[in-house]
Amino acid sequence: MSLETLSETRSFGGTQGVYRHASQATGTDMIFAVYLPEMALHGRVPVLWYLSGLTCTHDNAMTKAAAQQWCDEAGIAIVFPDTSPRGEGVANDEAYDLGQGAGFYVNATQDPWKPHFQMWDYITAELPDLVAENFAVDADAMGITGHSMGGHGALTIAMTHPDRYKSVSAFSPIANPTESDWGRKQLTAYLGEDRDTWRAHDASILMAEKGYPGEVLIDQGANDQFLDLLRPESLAHAMMARRQPGQFRMQPGYDHSYFFVQSFMADHVFWHAERLI
């Protein structure tokens, strides 16, 4: 698969790059970012996938999450994909929480979304193959994390493919979308009215039904302005009922912003590094 380099910049001893490619999964051009630590000059390194939230592109977390320093120190790469297909001819909605910038990491089965909104396949199959082919990363040592909608994606993907993702964490994930206005609207639009098809994309349901074979790290801001939409208590209860190994941390005073993500990014990077290296 051909890859176009849009930029490459030295950062904390490693290289922060931005790239574009023609995606077969989405039928559009897609842009993503990869940070390679200095250690990648000497061989393949583990890779952490960071899935972003509503309205974000690859750029938001790349520039605001403050991950590069910690990734270089830990010796792991980090990938920042986009959150949806984009461009002329791609369906969209006037609301910020549906359409472009709001792919919800599912494969849409409903029109007008179905032709391009195949983000599950893009994130779990096509883009990992492309990254492994073009960068010095170890495809057998992958972890996944994300924020908000991206935390939802990270958890559901990891619990569905635990053999593929050796570590998982999340920042303020949309934890119970089948019971939230951040979820029911999007899952209806992308997957249709049959609620049974939604279950595979609800982290609280997946945690109750199957869990994750390793430890899970969740950080949630206690002053998050979107707590009623995120429903963290549903995921916490499912983890406790299952006796899922890991940590669910309510962080006092923190909201939903990238300042919250920045504050705990080092913890998450080193959490993954310990499980991937």
Residues paired with residue 220 on neighbouring β-strands, in sequence order: 250
Q: Please confirm, yes or no, whether 111 is among the known catalytic residues.
A: no
Residue entry with tokens 């949806």 = 84
Q: Please confirm, yes or no, whether 72 is among the known catalytic residues.
A: no
Structure tokens at 146: 């994300």
Strand pairing report for 216-221 and 137-146: unpaired
User: What CA–CA distance (Å, rounded) separates 112 from 65?
Assistant: 33
User: What CA–CA distance (Å, rounded) separates 117 from 259?
Assistant: 29
User: What CA–CA distance (Å, rounded) separates 171 from 48?
Assistant: 14
Mapped onto helix, strand or coil, the DSSP state of residue 7 is strand
Q: State the catalytic residue, choosing from 11, 204, 224, 234.
A: 224
Q: Please confirm, yes or no, whether 224 is among the known catalytic residues.
A: yes
Q: State the catalytic residue, choosing from 58, 116, 201, 256.
A: 256
**By the 8 A CB rule, do 201 and 177 touch?**
yes
Q: State the catalytic residue, choosing from 148, 167, 172, 204.
A: 148
Question: Which residues are known to be catalytic?
Answer: 148, 224, 256
